[in-house]
Amino acid sequence: MIHLKSHAALVTGSTKGVGRAIAQAFAQAGADVVIHGRAMSDDAQSVLDRCRRAGVKADFIDGDLSDADTGTAVDRVFRTALAVDPRLDILVNNAGQYFDVPFLDMTVERFEKTMRLNVASAYFLTQRFAHHWVEHKTAGRVLMIGSINGRLAEPVSTAYDTSKGAVEMMVKTLAVALAPMNIRVNGLAPGLVRTPQTAWIDQRPEEADWVRLHTPNGQVPDADVCGPGAVYLVSDAAQHVHGQMLLIDGGMSAWQQPARPS
């Protein structure tokens, strides 16, 4: 019953993983989509083909949102996306990456790159779209993609964890700032799901079993589980939902400590 017909969405970082799953779910729900990545690739073409098979318009744009000149990088993605589809009324800030090394080895450059891509690009791309939507009296919808790492820390993930904690706060503060302008902001935070970044799940099965032990439903699913929740949060069905972070994590964030295995 929930659909996105008559809507158009830009999903950043959508050639693989969670972004890909969200773009494909949007297409299945009837939205036209703009796929984004650093460069055209077989992965990007695969997403385009799958979205088009759902009967919607699908286009690709490139752009490196980790560039040292955040303003220029964001502006290029914004203008290119609007040129491809001027009807865009949904923005999904999914582009993000893990660049961590152990804390004592972290450099300013590596930390700043993490924050540029995972936080600053989403902040300022949302600002660009908000200006546009206010000017054109568009009811905009923004979805920030965070992570369970925004709530639960890992020892070799200090910069990434910090960035995802910032994303969770950004959902709240931008919701408060933009709700009076008829723009909704929410977030979605996956737990451990299968993406190219989590290929270690199959390479290190004992570690994967340990994660399953700490997940109430005992599953490590494909990234596709994130799609339906994303569709809901940007749909008309969520018209009174503002500033919320939906965790797609099998209950991991709710469980203080699992029982010892027998």
Q: How far apart are CA 119 and CA 104, in angstroms?
A: 22
3-state secondary structure string across the chain:
CCCCCCCEEEECCCCCHHHHHHHHHHHHCCCEEEEEECCCCHHHHHHHHHHHHCCCCEEEEECCCCCCCHHHHHHHHHHHHHHHCCCCCEEEECCCCCCCCCHHHCCHHHHHHHHHHHHHHHHHHHHHHHHHHHHCCCCCEEEEECCHHHCCCCCCCHHHHHHHHHHHHHHHHHHHHHHHHCCEEEEEEECCCECHHHCHHHHCHHHHHHHHHCCCCCCCCEHHHHHHHHHHHHCHHHCCCCCCEEEECCCHHHCCCCCCCC
- Residue 238: inside a domain, yes or no? yes
Categorize the per-residue pLDDT at 255 as very low, low, confident or very high, splitting at 50, 70 and 90: very high
pLDDT of residue 256: 87
Name the least confident of 92-96, 146-150, 201-205: 201-205
- Residue 216: inside a domain, yes or no? yes
> Does the pLDDT value for residue 225 go beyond 90?
yes
Q: For 85-112, write each residue's pLDDT tens digit.
A: 999 999 999 999 999 999 999 999 999 9
- Residue 147: inside a domain, yes or no? yes
- Residue 173: inside a domain, yes or no? yes
pLDDT of residue 259: 79
- Residue 128: inside a domain, yes or no? yes
- Residue 127: inside a domain, yes or no? yes
CATH code assigned at 182: 3.40.50.720
pTM: 0.96
- Residue 229: inside a domain, yes or no? yes
> Which carries the bigger pLDDT value, residue 79 or residue 262?
79
> Does the pLDDT value for residue 59 go beyond 90?
yes
- Is 160 catalytic? The answer is yes
- Residue 3: inside a domain, yes or no? no
Contacts of residue 173, defined as CB under 8 A and 6 or more positions apart, other chains included, come to none
> Which carries the bigger pLDDT value, residue 127 or residue 211?
127
Categorize the per-residue pLDDT at 147 as very low, low, confident or very high, splitting at 50, 70 and 90: very high
> Does the pLDDT value for residue 9 go beyond 80?
yes
Q: For 125-134, write each residue's pLDDT tens digit.
A: 999 999 999 9
Mean pLDDT along residues 4-28: 98
Mean pLDDT along residues 198-219: 89
**Number of structural domains the chain divides into:** 1
> Does the pLDDT value for residue 1 go beyond 90?
no
Q: Which member of 98, 123, 160, 232 is catalytic?
A: 160
Query: Domain residues for 239?
Result: 8-247
Mean pLDDT along residues 211-220: 91
